[in-house]
Each structure stands twice: as C-alpha cells, then as structure tokens.
Amino acid sequence: MKTQEQNDLYVLGVNTIINVINTIITSTGYGAMVLMMFVAMHYLSKKQRTIPIIALATCCMVIFVLFTVQYIYCSGLNLLAIAAHTDDSPGPQQAASYAQKAQYLAYMVVAASQPGLMYPVGDVIVVWRAWVLLQRDKSYKILLAVLMLANLGISIADIVLDYIHIQSELQGITNSMDWIMCIGLLLINLFAMLLIGWKLWSHQRNVEYLVARSNGHQIQKIMILLIESGALIGITQVMNLVLNIVSAYDSNLTTGFLYTYHVFTALAPVTTAWYPLIVIILVNTGHSPVHATVHFIDSDILAEHPP
C-alpha cells in the first residue's frame, strides 16, 4: 500500500472519529436540553407571570431555538462529510459540490443563530443570576451591566464580520473580532462567577440555613455550586480559548489535541444552553445553594429567622 493511501486512510479515520465525537456530544446535549426545557417550563408555568419570570422564560426559549438551529447545522456538516467520503463522483466535482452545500449551511447558521449570538444570551443569564444576588452592591451591578452591553456590541460586530468573510464553514476563531469576543465572554463569565461564588460563600458563612438543602456528599454540593455559579461555562470557555490559541500558532497538531479541541468545541454550546435550564430546575427542586431565586436581601431573611 502506498504511503499516500495510508495517509488518506489515516485522515479519513481521524475525521470520522471527530465527526462521531461531535455528533454524540451535540445529540446527547440537545436531547437532554429538550427534556430540561419541558421540566423548566413546567416549573415556570406554575409561577405568577411577573416580568422577571417572563424574561427568564423568553431567554430560555431563545437559547432553545438558537441551539436547535446550531444542532441542525452541525448535523448537516457531519452528514455532508460522510457523503463526501462515500461519493464516487470525480474529485473536483465532489469537492465543489460539498463546499457549496457547506457554504449554504454556514450562511444559514450565521443568519439564524451563529454561536456568537448564543453565548452572550447564555452569559446574560449568568449575569442576571449575579445581579439577583447583589441586591445592595449597586456598583457591581452597574459594572456587570456595562460589561454585558459592551460585549453584546462586540458579539454583534463579530457576527457581521463572520457573515461578510464566511467561506465554506464556520469553525474556531476566524478573525480578530472572534478573539475579542471570546475574551470578552470569558471575562464577563468569570467576573459574574466570582461574584456569585463570593455571595454564596458569604451566605453560607453567616447564615447557616442558606446552605443547600441537599443531603448528598460534599462533592455533590461542590458540583451544584459550580453549576449554580456558571463555572462549567467558564471552564469550557477557558479551554476553548487556550486550544484555539495553540491551534493558531502550532501547525504540528497531534491527534489527541484534535480530539480534545473538538470535544470542548462541541461542549461549549451545550453548557451554554444547559445553564439557565439547570438553574431553574435546581431552584425549584430545592437543590440550589440559596433558596428560591434569591430575590431578597439578608436583612429580610434574618428578620424572618432570628438567631
């Protein structure tokens, strides 16, 4: 067997494994999101239709629609990749047909739900969660709002640039605005996560009955706290940023790196879509590190439960 044929088979095998990884993660994430969407909407439907509840339900539905289109896009690319490898048409004709179809999918996803739009919507939920916990800290709330608005503008600009410069498909970081958007999303998420973690730690330290009511193991409580604070979204954003930086400056990427890169690339939209739904379910099942939606201040709780 010739060396070129061996290389072609090796590349085909690696690409097939990557497509399988992307399909498994995205399909599992989407299926779980559909289930959690029904559960979250069930809980929200029982509450009084106030402006915060309506806004929260709207954000959940927006993320659901965006992730649905993103799922269709990813599934379409995987099917096109399989079709390209099994097509017996002449090489140039096959490549041109595949590129044209992939371009149509790319334009569709940019116009409807490019990931640059879904991530800010997810971070709005994280920021809102921090906002709710910071009833008295107006300076932090103002700073969060300013950062969120600035990053939203950057994300919109990034979508416009991606739409202008799009070619065959949108994967990874494609222009300088993508770098700014990734860093902006990461900074906002980390800032909100630290504020949420600090507030929850303060409640746990000073008011014992605000500790999560779960009777599970300490590791379970830590995981719930990580979910509640948006830390899992932050971890995927950090890993994506690091992996994209490495891939941009290193031309000799190992197979293990490629697998890791695509795992976290697939996980990023999944964790973003899951976050608001998981928080709603945790709050309404009594497993949140703080009671209800924390639309109260410490003095209200202390007045109801004097030491």
pLDDT confidence of residue 170: 43
Q: Are 264 and 243 in contact (CB under 8 A)?
A: yes
Cα gap 119→265, rounded to integer Å: 13
Q: Describe the crossing of helices 51-86 and 91-113 by its angle, rounded to 10 degrees.
A: 180
Three-state helix/strand/coil letters over 12-37: HHHHHHHHHHHHHHHHHHHHHHHHHH
Residues in the chain predicted with pLDDT less than 50, given as ranges, are 1, 111-113, 167-175, 207-219, 291-307
User: In this structure, is the dihedral angle defined by the CA atoms of residues 164, 167, 168 and 170, taken in order, positive or negative?
Assistant: negative
The predicted-structure confidence for 214-226, as pLDDT tens digits, reads as follows: 444 444 555 555 5
The 10s digit of each residue's pLDDT in 54-90 is 877 888 888 888 888 878 877 777 777 666 666 555 5
CA distance 33 to 27: 10
DSSP state of 210: G
Torsion angle in degrees (nearest 10) through CA of 104, 108, 110, 116? -120
Q: What pTM does this model have?
A: 0.66
Could you tell me which of 118, 128, 135, 121 has the C-alpha nearest to residue 283?
Answer: 128
CA dist 138 and 123 (Å) reads: 19
Distance CA(124)–CA(192), nearest Å, equals 10
Give me the pLDDT at residue 196, please.
Answer: 65
* CB of 129 closer than 8 Å to CB of 192: yes
Domains with residue ranges and CATH for the chain: 3-304 (1.20.1070)
